[in-house]
Amino acid sequence: MAQDYDSPRNKDEDEESLQALGKSAQNSSSDIDDDENAIAEDYELPGADLSNEDASVTVIPMQGDEFICSECYLVKHRSQLAYTTPDGQPVCEECAA
């Protein structure tokens, strides 16, 4: 539907629409606040005290077909070995790129 912006406007319609927008904004803002609080409770802040938490991580020793990259210090499979430095240090493909 085309809108004629040059035609005179009815002030009553404008005020009613503004009031309706104000009411809907107040209702939706209270819903958003509740959702944000519920979501925020699930996150741990950096530096939080985790001394009473138990870590359940299984550490697997480095396998014979793996190496530690001398650039990024990550354990990589030997298929990701790009080259070895002159002093014998391995470098992975990602660090070599």
75's tokens: 């354990």
Decide if 52 is inside a domain. no
Decide if 42 is inside a domain. no
- pTM for this prediction: 0.44
Residues 6+ apart with CB under 8 A from 71: 91, 92, 95
Task: Kindly report the CATH number assigned to the domain that includes residue 67.
Answer: 3.30.60
Number of domains into which the chain is organized: 1
The DSSP code sequence of 23-41 is HHHHHHHHHHHHHHHHHHT
pLDDT one-digit tens code per residue, 11-59: 665 566 777 777 766 655 555 556 677 777 777 778 877 778 788 888 8
Decide if 20 is inside a domain. no
Decide if 36 is inside a domain. no
Decide if 89 is inside a domain. yes
pLDDT band for position 68 (cuts 50, 70, 90):
very high
Q: Determine the Cα–Cα distance for residues 83 and 85; give it in Å rounded to an integer.
A: 7
Q: What is the pLDDT of residue 41?
A: 73
Higher pLDDT, 1 or 76: 76
Determine the structural domain holding residue 71 and report its residue range: 61-96
Q: What is the pLDDT of residue 10?
A: 66
Strand partners, 82: none
Strand partners, 84: 90
Q: Determine the Cα–Cα distance for residues 36 and 46; give it in Å rounded to an integer.
A: 19
Q: Determine the Cα–Cα distance for residues 75 and 78; give it in Å rounded to an integer.
A: 9
